[in-house]
Amino acid sequence: MNELNQETEKNDNLSSGIAVSFAIHALIISFFTLKAVFFDAESIDFSQAVRVDMVALPDKITNELPPPPAKQDSKPQPPEKKPKTPPSEKAPEKVVKKTPPPKNPKDDGVNLEKVKNQQKNALDKLKAMAALEKIKQEASTPKPSESSNAAAAEPAKVKGNILSPGSSLTGLAKLQHENFASDLDRHIKQHWSLPEWLARRDFKAQARVYIDSRGNILGRKIVKSSGNPSYDDEVLATIDRSAPFPAPPEKFIAIVSVEGILIGFPE
């Protein structure tokens, strides 16, 4: 009799134990699910991970012709989540669709050196492929322009390696952009000086300078005045002293002569 009672007791204990266990497990799972759904807005840092251009080997693009609009919209997510990258154009979008699976293994425990080397190799490849890709683009059918992406106005030309106003930069162009920007920074800094009586007074001004393909000044103007005309004069004088500027890479000639370079004194 006792054994029977003990048996049933044990069974009861067991079932209640299982129930409790289930309940706790369910609680934990739902907690993490909810956390993942509603709070996982932290952007994953893709900057050290594979850039789009690394896997955006040009010949693969041609296979991606007719993606449905919904999918296309979801593609910009990874590049938009990158801290610095502006939204991608149409063509890189298509490429990106392929990247999430290959990216994931690289996200975890990225070896900086390895990535840098890979980047370098991929870039070299890119440079070689750039010409090839141009030819292929011209040969291929124009991309469908029913995408919601307004920047896809010139699908045949724009692929992320050539600039167009309001578009993104990826890969080769992005690196050239950064190199040019740091060259400019270094160059102008050499000429940026102020008399003591204007210094350390928290003046802030911004100016735009337009340069031609050889770095000569086409024009310059103050876009945000510091409020002190002498300070603004020193800003313009600094720009004048900095001529000629370092020659812009080919692809930026249009930008620096039309849009100009925005310079912050000091920011």
Minimum Å gap between C-beta 11 and another protein is 39
Q: Nearest to residue 230, comparing CAs of 190, 255, 196?
A: 196
Q: By C-beta, is 46 or 265 nearer to another protein?
A: 265
Query: Footprint of another protein on this chain (CB under 8 A)?
Result: 36-37, 40, 70, 73-74, 76-77, 80, 86-87, 148, 150-151, 163, 166-169, 177, 180-181, 184-185, 188-189, 192-197, 199-201, 233, 238, 252, 255-256, 259-267
Minimum Å gap between C-beta 103 and another protein is 15
Whether the Cβ atoms of residue 95 and residue 55 lie closer than 8 Å to each other: yes
Minimum Å gap between C-beta 70 and another protein is 8
For the chain, the farthest-separated pair of C-alpha atoms sits apart, in whole angstroms, at: 105
Q: By C-beta, is 17 or 264 nearer to another protein?
A: 264
Whether the Cβ atoms of residue 50 and residue 106 lie closer than 8 Å to each other: yes
Minimum Å gap between C-beta 59 and another protein is 26
Q: By C-beta, is 62 or 154 nearer to another protein?
A: 154
Sort 96 into a burial class: Cβ within 10 Å, 0-12 / 13-18 / 19+: buried
Q: By C-beta, is 9 or 233 nearer to another protein?
A: 233
| β-sheet bridge partners, residue 208 | 221, 262
Q: Nearest to residue 170, comparing CAs of 80, 265, 41?
A: 80
Q: By C-beta, is 126 or 256 nearer to another protein?
A: 256
Residues 6+ apart with CB under 8 A from 100: 78
| Residue 147 structure tokens | 């995408």
Minimum Å gap between C-beta 8 and another protein is 44
Q: By C-beta, is 60 or 201 nearer to another protein?
A: 201
Minimum Å gap between C-beta 60 and another protein is 23
Alpha-carbon distances, residue 122 vs 1, 74, 163 (angstroms): 78, 25, 20
